[in-house]
Amino acid sequence: MTIYEIKSYLSRPYAEAAFKFANENNIVDDWIYMIEEICKILKNIKIYSLSSFILKKNKNFLFESIKNNFDVYFNNFVKIIIENNRLIIFPEILNQFINLKNDQNNIENITIISKYKLDKKILNKIEKKIKSLIFKEIKINIKIDKSIIGGYIIKSKNFLIDNSIKNKLYRFSEYL
């Protein structure tokens, strides 16, 4: 199992419980904001990367310093994560929480990877085609990766379309 898979596995129950609570109380966007704020705080303090080794007094200090910024329910959520030495997975909790929201709203996150910035016409064609295939609204994230030589790769959590020259060369070499 990779580190990402472990973090994903560990964060899923927290994200699902938080989303269920936030959704039932119509405060999903508020919770996204609060989780993002915790992620920003943790990014600024390097100590959380060793979260399982943080002394109890440091954990308490961290909790005491942030608790006035959030509501009691979110504070309880944070406290449980701190007590279970799971601070390091907060960014993944955020990702999964957002994915749960997107699933509920029938939105698919798509990442398009290309060597160069794609022009608007091509992006619109890709967006239109993907929407017609998956019957969902989509959010497109664009990444530039010089290693793919040319073409593009379209990724989501449900599919992968590799139309890169690098992949075509690889497949061609398999025929030889």
Domain that holds residue 38: 3-102
User: Domain check: are 13 and 98 in the same one?
Assistant: yes
63 and 79 together in one domain: yes
Quick one: pLDDT at residue 149?
84
- Model pLDDT, residue 56: 57
Domain identity same for 122 and 41: no
Same domain, 9 and 92: yes
CATH number assigned to the domain comprising residue 59: 1.10.520.20
pLDDT value for 55: 53
User: 48, 80, 102: which is the final residue of a domain?
Assistant: 102
Residues (pLDDT < 70) of the chain are 46-63, 65, 67
Q: Where a domain ends, among 102, 124, 148?
A: 102
Alpha helix ranges (H) inside the chain: 3-24, 28-44, 56-66, 72-83, 90-104, 120-134, 165-175
pTM: 0.74
